[in-house]
Structure 1
């Protein structure tokens, strides 16, 4: 299980360490940094796919995504005795992301480019990566170290250099795969690639989930919910169909969902009390369709190590939120789950769940903080030195 997510220099996350539990709930007012924390987690997953730089480009580029305030916010600034102003930097401009778990930890640091080719002067470069044993980095626990293009792996009590240099835009997770020399790196790469994120389930009139489409075994629902019918039937065929039906009844008493197949493909329909015929997916309300997608995602027959949900309450009627909270709590028995939400009824339902820990983000002087985190509960963390 992951124990800590650490982010520094990304948007409003100047320096934040978030403890992680089997079910972690992140709340806070609009603009407090909830979505930034969620996107930071996605960027870590992107590193395993060698997509972290393109992902930053899609967000507006390195200059738009890194911390825009001063390097240090002094006590005098916080007390209003001194204006917020820039100072001479002690360290390099950087964006750092890291996770620590029961077995391994990983971090990546991006910085300003040096000697970049023409038209790529604004592209960040990967300056530092590290993989270590345990939740917190120590030089003695490091297993793989990357400094700029140079990569070295642990060899007994010493280090063995990898002769092939890394490009400034390539993550070591995607470029070095040697099961005999660095098996831990393959483990971490596959772990990050297996994380699932649900923040863009489509319910509009043209949503793919509303259409009949050819299906096959689908143990993992797509990020936009396009293969809902196939994913639902896969749970019925090889997953826990009884649990799926119980959770459906919890939200929609007396309802039933069927998946049929014709020449066009898989067709999902839902029968509801009082209606003379089932409603096709194209006829379902946005909220009902979205809830069916969440059922298929959270009750996957192939549960991931980590699943993250960003504002899953969107389009849902408030009366559905207690059932959604129970559904998420059920899923957290098989996967570590991180939920970002500002819906009070969902928050209340999740906070009643066992193994759930809730964190409310606040923004002070442009910086996202955890005001309810006592110093003695701050997870230990140390960034590898550049």
Structure 2
């Protein structure tokens, strides 16, 4: 489980360190950085897939994603005694992402490529990557260290080597060591971190309009994990019914739609969602369901997955749902948090209140201070300790 999430230099997240529990609820007004936090988590996930550079390019390149404010915000400025002004930069430009977990922690540091590499000036270069043991970065706890192109094991990592073991000296500045280096014998930690991150899942809304593929029959295959776009919903529900928690599926549908039962119709190898509702003589197909009903079934398939990930992140799951469905959605989220760590970003007061009733729910309320996203109520005593590796 991830205990600490750290982001530095990404959009409004100038230097944000958050404590995480089993169930985390991220709230805040519009523009406080909730979406940036969600995207930062996705970028961390992209590092294990070697797509972090491409993801930043889709956001406009490194210049468009960096913190746009001054390098430091003086106390006199925060008191309103002086206006915000830029100052000569003292530190190198960097965008840093990291987390501390059990048993390993990881961070990545991106910056501008060397001046000689001008063919792709907007592409970030990976400057540092580290995997260490424990929650707080210390040189003595580093297991795998990447410095520009050089990737090596720390001294004493293996019993036979008391000196650093070089894994490669020529790693491309656009390639993450997690995705490109595989050495399970000498660096099993890297394999463990990579596979853990690759299992993370992100859901931020499903297409449910009249032309959505979710509303048409789909080829049925074993689907223990719902796709990000939800197009394999019938197969995912069928998999839950056959190999997952069938009782939880029935209970969840009954909780949201009393007297209803969801099933999957099979014709010629193609699956289609069917919802039987109390008082109707025939089941309703996916094409007949309302956007809210279909979206709730999508969240059901995502959260009742038979193959629970270590981390699942939901961005505004209340979108297009009737307020009456939100208490049932909250109960579904709480049930899913028993087997996986969840981060839920929400605007809905009804969903926030319903999740807040659970004593295990950790609420992270974000606010803006001089353009910077900060955690409400943060102090030096309740902020997790975090250290970044030096370039």
- Give me the TM-score of the superposition, normalised by structure 1: 0.98
What CA distance in whole angstroms lies between the structure 2 residues aligned with 1:264 and 1:102? 42
What CA distance in whole angstroms lies between the structure 2 residues aligned with 1:147 and 1:200? 38
Q: 2:268 aligns with which of 263, 267, 271?
A: 263
Does the 8 A contact of 1:27 with 1:34 survive in 2? yes
Q: 1:219 aligns with which of 199, 221, 224?
A: 224
Secondary structure of the structure 1 residue equivalent to 2:218: coil
Question: Are 1:194 and 2:199 an aligned pair?
Answer: yes
C-alpha deviation, 1:264, in angstroms: 6.0
C-alpha deviation, 1:116, in angstroms: 4.9
C-alpha deviation, 1:318, in angstroms: 0.6
Question: Are 1:306 and 2:314 an aligned pair?
Answer: no
C-alpha deviation, 1:267, in angstroms: 1.2
C-alpha deviation, 1:251, in angstroms: 0.8
What CA distance in whole angstroms lies between the structure 2 residues aligned with 1:354 and 1:241? 27
RMSD: 1.1
Aligned to 1:85: 85
What CA distance in whole angstroms lies between the structure 1 residues aligned with 2:168 and 2:30? 48
Alignment of structure 1 residues 370-381 onto 2, 5 Å: 370-381=375-386
Alignment of structure 1 residues 1-386 onto 2, 5 Å: 1-156=1-156, 157-263=162-268, 265-386=270-391
What CA distance in whole angstroms lies between the structure 2 residues aligned with 1:254 and 1:375? 52
C-alpha deviation, 1:164, in angstroms: 4.2
What CA distance in whole angstroms lies between the structure 1 residues aligned with 2:377 and 2:260? 42
Does the 8 A contact of 1:129 with 1:147 survive in 2? yes
What CA distance in whole angstroms lies between the structure 2 residues aligned with 1:50 and 1:225? 24
Secondary structure of the structure 2 residue equivalent to 1:375: coil
Moved more, 219-228 or 161-170: 161-170
Secondary structure of the structure 2 residue equivalent to 1:135: coil
C-alpha deviation, 1:352, in angstroms: 1.0
> Which runs of 5 or more structure 2 residues have no equivalent in the other structure?
157-161
Does the 8 A contact of 2:27 with 2:363 survive in 1? yes
Does the 8 A contact of 2:154 with 2:164 survive in 1? yes
Q: Count the aligned residue pairs.
A: 386
Alignment deviations for residues 158-187 of structure 1 (CA, whole Å, 9 cap, x no partner): 311123411010000011110111100000
Alignment deviations for residues 334-380 of structure 1 (CA, whole Å, 9 cap, x no partner): 00000000100100111111321001100111100112223211111
Secondary structure of the structure 2 residue equivalent to 1:136: coil
What CA distance in whole angstroms lies between the structure 2 residues aligned with 1:340 and 1:383? 26
Moved more, 52-61 or 116-125: 116-125
Does the 8 A contact of 2:220 with 2:269 survive in 1? no
Does the 8 A contact of 1:212 with 1:264 survive in 2? no
> Which runs of 5 or more structure 1 residues have no equivalent in the other structure?
none
Secondary structure of the structure 1 residue equivalent to 2:154: strand
What CA distance in whole angstroms lies between the structure 1 residues aligned with 2:26 and 2:99? 17
Does the 8 A contact of 1:199 with 1:309 survive in 2? yes
Alignment deviations for residues 13-62 of structure 1 (CA, whole Å, 9 cap, x no partner): 00000100000000000000000001000000000000000000111111
Moved more, 202-211 or 178-187: 202-211
Alignment deviations for residues 304-333 of structure 1 (CA, whole Å, 9 cap, x no partner): 000000000000001111111111000000
**Distance of aligned partners of 1:76 and 1:179 in 2 relative to their CA distance in 1, 3 Å threshold:** same
Secondary structure of the structure 2 residue equivalent to 1:152: strand
